[in-house]
Chain A
Amino acid sequence: MATMTGSSAAAGAKSFDIVATYNELLRSDPDLTMPIAAIEALVLLLTKEPSSTISETLDLLEKSTAHLKKAIPNPIGLSAGTDLFQRYLITTLQRPGQLGPAGDFKAIRTHLLSNGRLFIRRAKESREKIATFGRGFIRDGCTVLTNGGSRAVASLLQKAADDEGGPSAVRFRVIYVLSSFKNADEPSGEPEGMETVRALRAKGVPVSTIPESAVAYALGKTDMVIVGAEGVVENGGIVSRMGTYQIGLLAKAIGKPFYVVAESHKFVRLYPLGQYDLPINQHVIDFKSDDDITEQKEESATPNTNGNQQIELPLCDSVDFTPPYLISALITDSGVLTPSAVSEELIKIWF
């Protein structure tokens, strides 16, 4: 990911490289989600680039956001953060009162700048909150199937296994679906989610790890499926780690409840009509003949440095779209929602 920071900075962010900041934030704190990192990066941008008027600030934000989105191969998660931040600024500025037009624009600026760490803390707290809501779903003696490396799911499962914070620890089992892709971020190359598996086993939760091909086989022994999400889209569907869609389809076919755990700041204004309608450049299906392979070998010798083209998402980070009809409920920090409630949450902030 470090290579893309070299791409030329857009006009909006002259000296301050928002892409590098965003990537650095994500790297420095493994608990940070993409939307929060994006918000943080924008707050830092406002610190570095002094702007005195509202429209100047909004213009700066818009340009940097566009630049950031272009530079990141999967902008769905971060666009949830940038959109939220932008809407928050606009709504707060429009709202009458101390911070409104009658008030001081500086007040809201100082609030944002001085509370940078607060947002991160709140985002982490919202994960705690989800865990409290979701605890009710995990009952004694049940078996949960999960996948991917979602921190919200991990914290939910760990909270359920913990003694503290509840009447007693739930005795449950976990079937963890491990991706067959090698994880580029891990030096050992172990698949995503192994950390959670170890943490759960340390808490005494029996965990079984299975490959993606065994999901249908394992679902018969499962009581419920709980997955995380990278973004929750307008119709209540989710964009999540590759393989989630097929787990959803299988769970539906076998009649097991399929729950999604996601913070409400991951709600994003996007309405994908299908798998191939996501604003991501990922080549999961790649048709090749022998000629193409030889051609590609030659091409890879000369690296492509075209700044305008969207960067391709590495295969291990590829995502798919799970449509809302497969989802039983979304466990968020604002309660347990049905998929159709997502659009309302979004409407609340946009209109």
Chain B
Amino acid sequence: MPSTSVALTPGLASFLKSLNTNPIDTSIENLISLLKRRQIRHSRSCATATAYLLLRVVSACRTSDPVKLIERVQSVGRRLIAAQPREMVVGNIVRRVLGLIREEAEGDHDAEFALSEAGSESQPQTPRGFDDSSLPLDRDVLRPDADRAASRPPLTSMFSLLSHPVEDDSQPSTPGTQSPRGLPGHGPAKDVRAEVLEGINEITDELDQVDDQISSYALEHIHSNEIILTHTSSTTVQKFLLKAASKRKFTVIHAESFPNNHDATHATVSGNSPADDENLSFEAFQKPLIALGITVILIPDSAVFALMSRVNKVILGTHSVLANGGLVAAAGTRVIARAAKVHQTPVVVVSGVYKLSPVYPFDFDSLIEYGDASKVLPFEDGDLVDQIDVQNPLYDYVPAELVDLYITNLGGHAPSYLYRIVSDHYRKEDISF
């Protein structure tokens, strides 16, 4: 936690600092207004802020009843998402916390269930993440406990068509159907809340380590004397390249991403990055690529197509990744991806799993955020501003077919495999909460 004594400009650092002293509701309001005013804006910052806020929310929630915990997290999550629907990482973190609570709540029952079925084991229980998909029937029976109690269990597997109805009274004593509230002596035996808090801490650890984990795959993908094209000042990409640069010599062509990110990109390339209070201090990378002897060529965005024929690989950062394998990334990404496709150059996207959203892009236009028009046409040109309509989209939607490989902290994946990672990380019932 940064401990600066001067009054900080509102942002992630000041938010995290105030989190422990302010009451919960003030903190929630605080984050909502920060999100609305776009004072917290990078994916990672939003994710970190959300995770720490939920940590506080859960620890302040004086209950061990998973149903109440879920309700509380859901209501906070809804408000955060409403504040800034385009920052999909906020929703992702909320969903993961909800999944954690559900998992802990069901874990209680699974243990109970395992006892009753010991002896004749038919389906081996695989560790977390996989067991919820491999035991669809058990989940159907178990879900009503954790879920909104009255509703029918959602149809999750193909068997749901045939399985026992919940209201069927012919099975009054199936082990899983007892509600935690029905057995007051049993629920608190394991402290759900403590487990969830531990889980959230794991999420924040993951957020801290994600870039290093991703960069550990760098040497598998960047080879000597290759020419790599990249775009924007993404920390993840820089760390990835730096890791490779420690062992190999290659050339980087860096598109400057005018007008929204060119200052940061120039700073990244030249290595004199200004103190960025948006990023936490440990994220600021010490050495630029040039210090490691890498040739870095800074080009305007318009030169991308011209140079693409000489490029061996395109490595891109992203804002968020969608369930169908498409991604929302800084404006200009689609042009690069399309140019790469034309030249049959492989496109690699590096992204933490936390950016992977279960949202399906029904409406691509609604995902695109528009930024400050004065960056394109300064207001000094008042005469012109009056007469023309200036637009400055901040993001591009890149369809899945333009991407060849995703590298996340879990490894490399084909775009068509992302659905699987989505289903491993988010519960179906949380996708639209």
Q: Is the CB of B158 within 8 A of A97?
A: no
Residues of A within 8 A of B134 (CB): 348
Query: Is A136 positioned at the interface, with any CB of B under 8 Å from its CB?
Result: yes
Bound form: Cα–Cα A333–B173 in Å? 29
Q: Is the CB of A335 within 8 A of B428?
A: yes
Query: Is A126 positioned at the interface, with any CB of B under 8 Å from its CB?
Result: yes
Bound form: Cα–Cα A269–B98 in Å? 34
Q: Is the CB of A126 within 8 A of B155?
A: yes
Query: Is B171 positioned at the interface, with any CB of A under 8 Å from its CB?
Result: yes
Chain B minimum-CB-distance residue to A100:
B120
Query: Is B180 positioned at the interface, with any CB of A under 8 Å from its CB?
Result: no
Size bracket, chain B contacts: 35 or more
Residues of A within 8 A of B116 (CB): 96-97
Residues of A within 8 A of B171 (CB): 98, 107
Residues of B within 8 A of A94 (CB): 122
Contact with A along B165-191 (1 / 0, CB 8 A): 100101101110000000000000000
Stretch at the interface among B67-75, B222-230, B381-389, B412-420: B412-420
Q: Is the CB of A91 within 8 A of B137?
A: yes
CB distance from B174 to the nearest CB of A (A): 6
Known: A341-B419, A348-B136. A96 touches B360 (CB 8 A): no
Q: Is the CB of B157 within 8 A of A345?
A: yes
Partner of A338, one of B120, B162, B419: B419
Residues of B within 8 A of A107 (CB): 170-171
Q: Is the CB of A348 within 8 A of B419?
A: no
Query: Is B363 positioned at the interface, with any CB of A under 8 Å from its CB?
Result: yes
Stretch at the interface among A46-54, A115-123, A273-281, A312-320: A115-123
Q: Is the CB of A340 within 8 A of B162?
A: no
CB distance from A263 to the nearest CB of B (A): 8
Chain A minimum-CB-distance residue to B137:
A95
Bound form: Cα–Cα A139–B123 in Å? 43
Chain A stretch 209-245: residues in CB contact (< 8 A) with chain B: none
Contact with A along B248-275 (1 / 0, CB 8 A): 0000000000000000000000000000
Residues of B within 8 A of A333 (CB): 155
CB distance from A152 to the nearest CB of B (A): 14
Residues of B within 8 A of A88 (CB): 159, 162-163
Residues of A within 8 A of B159 (CB): 84, 87-88, 91, 349
CB distance from A109 to the nearest CB of B (A): 12
Chain A minimum-CB-distance residue to B174:
A98
Query: Is B133 positioned at the interface, with any CB of A under 8 Å from its CB?
Result: yes
Bound form: Cα–Cα A349–B170 in Å? 25
Residues of A within 8 A of B155 (CB): 122, 126, 129, 264, 333-334
Partner of B170, one of A97, A102, A110: A110
Known: A119-B161, A119-B162, A337-B419. A348 touches B133 (CB 8 A): yes
Contact with A along B85-124 (1 / 0, CB 8 A): 0000000000000000000000000000000110111110
Residues of B within 8 A of A92 (CB): 137
Bound form: Cα–Cα A123–B419 in Å? 25
Residues of B within 8 A of A337 (CB): 419
CB distance from B11 to the nearest CB of A (A): 34
Query: Is A101 positioned at the interface, with any CB of B under 8 Å from its CB?
Result: yes
Partner of B420, one of A265, A341, A349: A341
Bound form: Cα–Cα A334–B140 in Å? 13
Bound form: Cα–Cα A123–B161 in Å? 7
Bound form: Cα–Cα A39–B161 in Å? 10
Residues of B within 8 A of A96 (CB): 116-117, 119-122
Contact with B along A96-114 (1 / 0, CB 8 A): 1110111000010011100
Residues of B within 8 A of A119 (CB): 161-162
Contact with B along A110-147 (1 / 0, CB 8 A): 11100100110011001001000000110100000000
Known: A84-B161, A122-B161. A344 touches B420 (CB 8 A): yes
Contact with A along B336-360 (1 / 0, CB 8 A): 0000000000000000000000001
8 A-B pairs besides A334-B155, A348-B133 with CB distance below 8 A are A39-B161, A91-B159, A95-B122, A96-B117, A97-B175, A122-B155, A267-B158, A339-B416
B residues adjacent to A (C-beta < 8 A): 116-117, 119-123, 133-134, 136-137, 155-165, 168, 170-171, 173-175, 323-325, 360, 362-363, 416-417, 419-420, 428, 431
19 A-B Cβ contacts within 8 A?
A: A39-B162, A84-B158, A97-B174, A110-B170, A122-B155, A122-B160, A123-B161, A126-B155, A136-B362, A265-B161, A328-B324, A329-B324, A329-B360, A336-B360, A337-B419, A338-B416, A339-B416, A341-B420, A348-B158
